[in-house]
Amino acid sequence: MILLAGDIGGTKTNLAVFSSEAGPRAPLVEKAFPSPDYPDLEALVREFLTQLDLKVERASFGVAGPVVDGRVRVTNLPWVIDERQLREGLALSSVHVLNDLEAIANSVPFLEPADLHTLNAGQAVPGGAIAVIAPGTGLGEAYLTWDGSRYRSHASEGGHTSFAPMDELEIELLRYLQARFAHVSCERVCSGIGLPNVYAYLKDSGYADEPDWLAEQLAAAGDPTPVIVNAALDGERPSELCVATLNVFVSALGAEAGNLALKVLATGGVYLGGGIPPRILPILRQAQFMDMFRRKGRMSDLLARMPVRVILNPKAALLGTACYGLEWL
């Protein structure tokens, strides 16, 4: 079987072709495309397929956004992706669309030691549920359950659940954000779009001064999040304001990861995906993240036994999409 798999993002789309013989870790062909340059996914895929000397039979795509009845409106792109339309338009025998976090979750059973960094070794329960939480531009959440022979992934929109503050500073942060948003979700705090919200609160509340050099960088940046993270991690002149921002982010992420672990009883482990965790690994390795993860009262001992790992492989979503396509389509 020859499978086309894709990781569809607002900025970039990664496509690759896999064979059932070579498996999901050995793409036959792989290429990245600038998503905004194309009117829709079908046009992009059609261009890719014309460059191949391979007969693709099936396709699976991981897409940011809630997939309902095989249809999804892509986050940060004016695309609507429909399985039936793609199957007919591309003359394929089958097409399946997964939520991007469902795709990352599918990769977890296939990850190797080099793909992971362990924050808490814990003791995984064989066949126990697995939680996946991924702060990138937004905050994605998914989980896996054992069906008796293999793990199956399940999508969720848990990142949009209500933010629950854990201390006085976060209570004031919540009040600050309530004045600006109709609903303050976890994503408003612990994600790429959340970091600037935390920064704005700490700046406006007078927690620390904003130096001129940082104000200039933020004013010139299209996306303030990398500027905040870089300034927090700068070993020579770290910004106090950015360090505090990142600490609030890590605290909130740890607490929400613990919430998800309890909700799905993730005795099989908790995995952090997305683009931010590998970037801030030195901060995640400190005690704060795991302290907030475990801070659940009578459930603290249960959480302390759960393995917690960071996914380092930047192509986990593509790997998971290929795994799904090769096993199930």
Q: Does the pLDDT of residue 118 top 80, yes or no?
A: yes
Confidence of residue 87 (pLDDT cuts 50, 70, 90): very high
User: Tens digit of pLDDT for each residue in 10-21?
Assistant: 888 999 999 999
Q: Is 21 exposed, middle or buried (0-12, 13-18, 19+ CB in 10 A)?
A: exposed
Average pLDDT across the chain, whole number: 95
Lowest mean pLDDT segment, chosen from 148-157, 169-178, 193-202, 302-311: 148-157
Superfamily name with CATH number, domain 2-106+315-328: ATPase, nucleotide binding domain (3.30.420.40)
Q: Residue 1: its pLDDT value, please? A: 86
| DSSP code at position 162 | B
Q: Cβ distance 75 to 8 under 8 Å? A: no
Lowest mean pLDDT segment, chosen from 63-72, 124-133, 277-286: 63-72
End-to-end CA distance of the chain: 10
User: Tens digit of pLDDT for each residue in 163-202?
Assistant: 999 999 999 999 999 999 999 999 999 999 999 999 999 9
Q: What DSSP letter does each residue of 220-286 carry, written as one string? A: H-S-HHHHHHHHHH-SSS--HHHHHHHHHHHHHHHHHHHHHHHHHT-TTEEEE-SSHHHHTHHHHTS
Q: Does the pLDDT of residue 329 top 70, yes or no?
A: no
Domain ranges of the chain: 2-106+315-328, 112-311
Q: Does the pLDDT of residue 86 top 70, yes or no?
A: yes
- b/e string for 36-48 if b means 16 or more Cβ within 10 A? eebebbbebbeeb
Q: Residue 11: its pLDDT value, please? A: 83
pTM of the model: 0.93
Q: Residue 68: its pLDDT value, please? A: 93
Distance in angstroms (rounded) separating the CA atoms of residues 248 and 193: 14
The distance of Cα 328 from the centroid of its chain, to the nearest Å, equals 23
Name the architecture of domain 112-311.
3-Layer(aba) Sandwich (3.40)
Q: Residue 327: its pLDDT value, please? A: 85
Q: Does the pLDDT of residue 77 top 80, yes or no?
A: yes
Q: Does the pLDDT of residue 158 top 90, yes or no?
A: yes
User: Tens digit of pLDDT for each residue in 238-283?
Assistant: 999 999 999 999 999 999 999 999 999 999 999 999 999 999 999 9
The amino acid occupying position 181 is F
- b/e string for 207-225 if b means 16 or more Cβ within 10 A? beeeeeebeebbeeeeebb
Q: Residue 76: its pLDDT value, please? A: 78
What strands, in cross-sheet order, belong to the sheet with 308-311?
116-120, 308-311, 269-272, 130-135, 139-146, 151-155
Q: Does the pLDDT of residue 291 top 70, yes or no?
A: yes
Confidence of residue 137 (pLDDT cuts 50, 70, 90): confident
Distance in angstroms (rounded) separating the CA atoms of residues 69 and 159: 21
User: Tens digit of pLDDT for each residue in 35-45?
Assistant: 999 999 999 99
| Number of helices (H), then strands (E), in the chain | 13, 13
Q: Does the pLDDT of residue 52 top 80, yes or no?
A: yes
